[in-house]
Amino acid sequence: MIVRSETVFTDASGAGPQGILVRPDDGIVHPGIVLIQEWWGIEPHVRDMAQRLAAQGFTVLVPDLYHGQIATEPDDAMKLMMLVRSNVDRALGEITLALDYLRADALVHPDRLGLMGFCMGGFLTYKIASRYPHLGAISPWYGGGYDPHGEDLSKVSAPVLSVYGELDQGIPQAQIDRVQNAFSAAGKSITVKVYKGAGHAFMNNTHGSYNEVAAKDAWQVAVDFFKHNLV
């Protein structure tokens, strides 16, 4: 499927945050997915995932939470990520703008919205799940540092697909269990996939943590998950 991409302002005033919009080039109404970056920023790997999702029949919007900056070294990525984590409400507001932008797009089903995030983006995906009522499916990937007991899970309206790597030293199995148990106790639909032999950011084939077997399987599971819930 042919896709096309453009940079858009997610604030209706045209002066707010920007994002990368990627959609099938067919003029047909599709479900929408907001894709949230890893700590590197909107690097080629993130753009590639957006294009791959669009090729599967989704309109994808990647909000630029770093406002044009892209890190190439871990120290720089850490600094940029900490700026976002120090003002989480602003980041959540920008993600909300991106979701609202898709809902208002004439070629997006307003009641078929998904949210997907990686690393820092996984954490933010969890955070916004209980704050945005129009989501049809969410998939946080290796979202460390998330405490479900600090959220009102009764407000989560979307099924959840959570993806982790078994060897991720920053996210112990006990934390994964807390997330799964909290969502289940709240009566929410959650599927947790923990990939053996895979570490943190195993989907990223540009930064040395790539696990091809886990990445291929997890990606197909996620695509099927979104198609089942949004299409």
Is 13 a residue whose pLDDT tops 80?
no
Pick the CATH number of 3-230 from 1.25.10.10, 3.40.50.1820, 3.30.70.870, 3.40.50.620: 3.40.50.1820
Cα separation of 217 and 114, whole Å? 20
Q: Percent of the chain beyond pLDDT 90? A: 94
**Pairing label, strands 30-36, 108-118:** parallel
- Residue 49 pLDDT > 90: yes
Distance (Å, rounded) from C-alpha 92 to C-alpha 96?
6
Pairing of strands 30-36, 59-63: parallel
Q: What is the mean pLDDT of residues 89-103?
A: 97
Q: How far apart, in whole angstroms, are the C-alpha atoms of residue 28 and residue 133?
A: 25
pLDDT at 218 over 80: yes
Q: In this predicted model, what pLDDT tens digit does every residue of 34-48 receive, in sequence order?
A: 999 999 999 999 999
- Would you list the domain boundaries of the chain? 3-230
